[in-house]
Amino acid sequence: MSRWSWSATLLAISTTLLFSEYSSALSYNPIAVPIAVKTPYLNTWFTGGRGSAGQMGRNWEVSGGNGGITAWQGFARVDNTTYSFMGGASAAGAWIGNAATPRSLEVTASQTVYTFSCGGIDIEARFLNPIEPQDLTRTSLPFSYLAVTATPNDGRTHNVQIYADVSGEWLSDSTTDNMTWSTQTTEKIVYHRAQLTTRVPYGVSDNRIRDGQLFYGMLLDTGVTYQTASDTVLRLGFQSGGRLNGTADTNPRAIGDNWPCLALSRDFGDISSTAGPVVFGIGLTRDQAVSYTTRSGQKQDRSLYYRSVFTSDADALSFFLTDFTNSLASANGFDNKLSAAASQISGTYSDLAIMAARQTFANMELTVSTGSDGKLNTTDTLAFLGLKGVNNMEEIYASAPFWIYANPALLRAMLLPIIDYHHRSSDKPYVTDDIGDVYPVATGPSSSALRPKALESTGNMLIVTAALIRVTGDMSLFSDNADLYKTWADYLKDNALYPGQQQTTDGETIGFPTNDTNLALKAIIALKAYADILTSMGKDAKAYENAARDYAAKWQELAKASNAFGVSYGDSSTYSICYNLFVDKWLKTGLPEKYGMPLSSETTTTSPHWMVWAAALVPDVQTRDAILSKVQYYLQNGADSLPWPSTYSSTMGNRTSTGGSNRPDIGGVYALLVKDLASVQSGGSPHASSAFRMFIPSSLVFSLFALVVLALRGV
């Protein structure tokens, strides 16, 4: 039996009104705006002007991985006057072109749409990063769109040209690195390709891959011109003549040595109504995507899934460019469906779900192995999650609500590599923290995993597995690996109630209390989830069921701290936001700071996804929305102009030293969307989850409610 039965059904969504106004957009401008956010390494954001459209024509875009520049310069030339609508191009100390005047910014789950006025023309720049969770080929394509339209705003005819170039900074932020490039045309497209002169397979420097190939292209059409040259030659030449001359710079050199750039342009000619879109495609491909060690100990160089469909990256880019209309239709469908569902909870919550989508989705890559026949094997499909190590269990756990919402099969594919590792390395009775130190090398646990968060990771594995069973009815992951799951459940049974000195991911920021209340809660819920799975399969679960219920009763007494829960047992002077209670409510197992409420009274650090988990627990809508508004406030006003971090100060709004940014755990904000998801989403037996019952008394949920009120008031 294949390890995963795939269904690559295309989303069937009407293409009508593809460029219509959105009901699915953010209600505010975020501090960091996603531009080309599709993979861990094709991950560019705009942060100039703290998210306002006003500064985009005077600031460079940056990498979500480390904040280094990924220069993308865009011009609109209107009646011989040049306007900069993105990028910070200058020459001889002066700006090139006038700054385009901002009109609007709309951000949806998969699109960012800027509108600018350039004299008598309004320019719409649409950055589309397709989220296609049901279409595995499109999911794995490492490309992103920029579509530009031009519309007269004064009823007159205007002469218009559009231009955009990229630099080698998309390959590395070390400007002394040497690069090479070339330009190719086919029957359908023109594209530039660039790479570092010295490519290092799986080499990563400061969250930037050193083995990537940059692709930049567009469909061949009337008025299309292209050129490679130094930045000022290209930009001043376009400003002067409105076109590119088709020549190639044949002098490979360092990224910052006269800044070699790859440019494309389109001449719309004289227009009296909307022209375009002209569609640019940008991508960062890798010959070898993930280094992996299989269950049998064999080393693999795994490829991204799309390569099983296309003969070359150029063919994939050609498909991508010709597929724009379909991609836009699907994107609108995904965006509108998400917004409609999230808005039923609240408008503020819809904002959070929208901002979490691309950041979470782009951190996952779908891979296939090469079979003995030399062909890519789509029956061996594994998903890998970066960038904090590889398939970090806490990040999988935190982001699980997003994957359950988008496509549970992707979540299952993330667990398989971890299970593979434990089949070949069975010396420990608990789940490893991760299977790699630096993404994309997944050959064994990281150095930090050698000091394991054993109870945390084991609880994570059982809870995520239970969630998968609950929404799909598919028991195969559990039944195919029953011995492993029993070993892990026995570990929980022996250690859940008294964690002792065990560490947690939260503890990296807030410290490691003895007998961590929230950690014990997670482990107890995970143990009950295991018992419920056994019961639903008709197996004897009495020992695990009884242990979980006994531990839950004892935990209530041990964790009490006035009207809340202490950080650790017996500590009545502190409180902890026991967000892991959300899992009990989700699985039905039966068991005032400016930027948010802290994780405990012992710290000012907060976590946006855990705050939303806490919000999913409280029965009072007003309190729930107060929590959500704190998270939204950070997105709009936080101190760091970078993508959403995992943790930040609830008082100052700056990310913590261990909080990072642009991580997938932010997908945890989807907790409210999946909390009441039907037990079986598709195709499974409705009885598969019938044993999941509440065992944490409702009184504890109301205790958390009281705690949250106190935290929001700053008590």
- Residue 700, pLDDT above cutoff 50: no
Task: Provide mean pLDDT across the span 568-595.
Answer: 65
Per-residue pLDDT at 642: 72
Task: Provide mean pLDDT across the span 1-11.
Answer: 29
For the chain, what percent of residues have pLDDT higher than 70?
Answer: 82
Task: Provide mean pLDDT across the span 658-674.
Answer: 82
464's enclosing H/E stretch is: helix 454-472
C-alpha 686/C-alpha 690 separation (Å) is 7
Per-residue pLDDT at 550: 95
- Residue 325, pLDDT above cutoff 60: yes
- Residue 635, pLDDT above cutoff 60: yes
272 exposed, middle or buried (CB, 10 Å; 0-12, 13-18, 19+)?
exposed
Per-residue pLDDT at 452: 75
Which of 102, 74, 76 shows the shortest CA–CA distance to 88? 74
Task: Provide mean pLDDT across the span 633-659.
Answer: 71
- Residue 712, pLDDT above cutoff 80: no
Number of other residues whose CB lies within 10 A of the CB of residue 427: 5
- Residue 714, pLDDT above cutoff 60: no
Per-residue pLDDT at 703: 41
Question: What residues are paired with 260 via a beta bridge?
Answer: 230
Q: Which two tokens stand for residue 560?
A: 């009490």
Residue 556's pLDDT band (cuts 50, 70, 90): confident
Helices (H), 362-407: 393-406
Report the mean per-residue pLDDT for the chain. Answer: 86
Length, in residues, of the chain: 715
Per-residue pLDDT at 603: 58
* Amino acid (1-letter code) at residue 390: V
> Is 13 in a helix, a strand, or coil?
coil
Q: How far is CA 122 from the centre of its chain?
A: 31
pLDDT tens for residues 159-185? 999 999 999 999 998 999 999 999 999
Residue 455's pLDDT band (cuts 50, 70, 90): very high
Per-residue pLDDT at 608: 80
Distances, alpha carbon 549 to alpha carbons 136, 293, 454, 487, in Å: 41, 39, 22, 20
- Residue 3, pLDDT above cutoff 50: no
pLDDT tens for residues 235-286? 999 999 999 999 999 999 999 999 999 999 999 999 999 999 999 999 999 9
Per-residue pLDDT at 564: 54
C-alpha 319/C-alpha 189 separation (Å) is 10
Say what the alpha-carbon torsion angle 530, 532, 538, 542 is, to the nearest 10 degrees: 80
Is residue 671 within 8 Å of residue 403, measured between CB atoms? no
- Residue 709, pLDDT above cutoff 60: no
Say what the alpha-carbon torsion angle 502, 507, 511, 515 is, to the nearest 10 degrees: -30
Question: What residues are paired with 213 via a beta bridge?
Answer: 195, 285
Per-residue pLDDT at 566: 65
Number of helices (H), then strands (E), belonging to the chain: the values are 18, 31
Query: For residues 103-131, b (16+ Cβ closer than 10 Å) or e, as one string?
Result: eebbbbbbbbbbbbbbbbbbbbbbbbbbb
Per-residue pLDDT at 643: 80
Is residue 589 within 8 Å of residue 462, measured between CB atoms? no
C-alpha 142/C-alpha 128 separation (Å) is 12
Lowest mean pLDDT among 111-115, 452-456, 468-472, 583-587: 583-587
Task: Provide mean pLDDT across the span 620-630.
Answer: 84
Lowest mean pLDDT among 55-59, 176-180, 374-378, 437-441: 55-59
Q: Kindly report the backbone phi and psi dihedral angles of residue 192, in degrees, each rounded to the nearest multiple of 5, phi listed first.
A: -100, 150
Task: Provide mean pLDDT across the span 129-135.
Answer: 95
- Residue 152, pLDDT above cutoff 80: yes
pLDDT tens for residues 475-518? 999 999 999 999 999 999 999 999 998 988 877 766 788 888 88
Within this chain, domains 33-329 and 382-713 share the same CATH topology:
no
Task: Provide mean pLDDT across the span 288-301.
Answer: 96
Per-residue pLDDT at 508: 72
Task: Provide mean pLDDT across the span 24-35.
Answer: 80
Helices (H), 474-578: 476-480, 482-495, 507-510, 517-536, 542-559
- Residue 686, pLDDT above cutoff 70: no
- Residue 688, pLDDT above cutoff 60: no
The domain 33-329 is classified under which CATH number: 4.10.1110, 2.70.98, 1.10.490, 3.40.50?
2.70.98
Ranges 225-234, 445-454, 623-632, most confident: 225-234
Antiparallel, parallel or unpaired: β 290-293 and 275-286: unpaired
Residue 136's pLDDT band (cuts 50, 70, 90): very high
- Adjacency order of strands within the sheet including 178-185: 101-107, 111-118, 121-128, 143-152, 275-286, 212-219, 189-196, 178-185, 253-254
Domain map (residue ranges) of the chain = 33-329, 382-713
Per-residue pLDDT at 405: 96
**Higher pLDDT pick, 348 / 318:** 318
C-alpha 710/C-alpha 90 separation (Å) is 52
- Adjacency order of strands within the sheet including 81-86: 98-99, 81-86, 72-78, 158-167, 260-271, 224-230
> Is 323 in a helix, a strand, or coil?
coil
pLDDT tens for residues 50-86? 444 457 999 999 998 788 999 999 999 999 999 999 9
**Higher pLDDT pick, 31 / 195:** 195
CATH number, span 382-713 = 1.50.10.10
For the chain, what percent of residues have pLDDT higher than 90?
Answer: 66
- Residue 525, pLDDT above cutoff 60: yes
**Higher pLDDT pick, 214 / 5:** 214
**DSSP-derived secondary structure letter, 9:** P
- Residue 684, pLDDT above cutoff 80: no
Residue 464's pLDDT band (cuts 50, 70, 90): very high
**Higher pLDDT pick, 148 / 666:** 148
* Amino acid (1-letter code) at residue 329: A
Residue 654's pLDDT band (cuts 50, 70, 90): low
- Residue 22, pLDDT above cutoff 70: no
DSSP string, 212-260: EEEEEEEE--TTEEEEEEEHHHHHHHHHHHSS---------EETTSS-E
Q: How far is CA 107 from the centre of its chain?
A: 15
Per-residue pLDDT at 658: 62
Per-residue pLDDT at 47: 85
Is residue 144 within 8 Å of residue 37, measured between CB atoms? yes
